[in-house]
Amino acid sequence: MNLTYAYIFLALAIILEVLGTSFLKDTNGFTKLYPSLFVLTAFCICVYLMSHTMKFIPVGITYATWSGLGIVAITIIATFKYKQIPNIPTIIGISLIVIGVSIVHLMNDIDVK
């Protein structure tokens, strides 16, 4: 595996985390079997992919990217799926997260030990 695959694994981990989180409400507190199994499976595969990503990308960068992009995606999904419209302070905060993650990527040399 190389850095390209690490970023592919990171992208897949983000997608699975977003899918799992977007169905978390549908589990009704893990009382509904199929949504619960889907969420648990998505999260388990997500963590597996993240562990391989961290072999090539530093933990801080991996986690910042995963959580930052996850927040953006979940906010967009919640807007359409649950009609949870973000207010201006939320949009500003999420924008700052995206800016922060971008700065971390642009200003960091990837050197995993």
Q: What pLDDT does 66 receive? A: 92
Kindly report the average pLDDT of the chain as a whole number: 92
Long-range contacts of 43-46 (CB under 8 A, 24+ apart): 43/16, 43/17, 45/13, 45/16, 46/13, 46/16, 46/17, 46/20
Q: Taking 70 as the threshold, does the pLDDT of residue 35 lie above it? A: yes
Q: Where are the alpha helices (DSSP H) in 1-113?
A: 3-24, 33-53, 59-81, 88-106
Q: Taking 90 as the threshold, does the pLDDT of residue 112 lie above it? A: no
66-90 pLDDT tens trace: 999 999 999 999 999 999 999 999 9
Stated pTM of the model = 0.85
Q: Residue 57: helix, strand or coil by DSSP? A: coil
